[in-house]
Amino acid sequence: MTILSGITILLIYQLAGEISVLLLGIPVPGPVLGMIMLFLTLLVRNRSSESLDATATALLSHLSLLFVPAGVGIIVHFDRIIEEWIPLTAALVVSTVVTMMATAAIMRGSTHLSSRGDDKNA
């Protein structure tokens, strides 16, 4: 029963997110808005429930599985991928390495700066 009520809560928030996106024309996917709504609910209540925690942990611990069917979709694009493999590979490798290192450096630098600011205020 635990998992059942947990998944029900998640689906209700996803549905609420999808409907709000359609009604308000916000350029954000429904599940993302649903996540923000659930997050705000948890903040206001200031606690989660056992069933929600258990379901979230179960879903998130096998998050990689959920990408498999979409990944197999590479099979549909074989032609384009073979034709454009150089720009595709270059873009993926360059962009992923640069973004990973840049965000890590920026996060480290700005955390350092803001904690130094806190020290001064203290």
Partner 1 sequence: MPEPDLTTIWVYLAATPLLGLTITLVAYGAGYRLYTFARFSPVLNPVVSAVAFLIGFLLLTGIPYDAYFEGGQFVHFLLGPATVALAVPLHQQFAKLKKLWLPITITLISGVMIGAMTSVGTARLFGASLETQLSIAPKSVTTPVAMGISEQIGGLPSLTVVMVVVTGIFGAVIGTRLFDLMRITDDSVKGIAMGITAHGVGTARAFQVSSEMGAFSGLAMALSAFATAIILPWLLKALGMIA
Q: How far is the CB of 47 from partner 1 (least distance, A)?
A: 9
Site string for partner 1, 11-50 (x = CB under 8 A): x-xx--x---------xxxxxx-xxx-xx--xx----x--
Q: How far is the CB of 87 from partner 1 (least distance, A)?
A: 4
Going from the C-alpha of 47 to that of each of 39, 50, 52, 62, 116, the distances in angstroms are: 10, 10, 11, 24, 32
Question: Residues in contact with partner 1, total (CB under 8 A)?
Answer: 72
State which of positions 85-114 bind partner 1 (CB under 8 A): 86-88, 90-108, 110-111, 113-114
Q: Which is nearer to partner 1, 1 or 80 (CB)?
A: 80
Q: How far apart are CA 89 and CA 30, in angstroms?
A: 31
User: Considering only residues 1, 23, 65, 82, which one is a binding residue for partner 1 as defined by CB under 8 A?
Assistant: 65
Binding status of residue 67 toward partner 1 by CB under 8 A: yes
User: Considering only residues 4, 59, 121, 122, which one is a binding residue for partner 1 as defined by CB under 8 A?
Assistant: 59
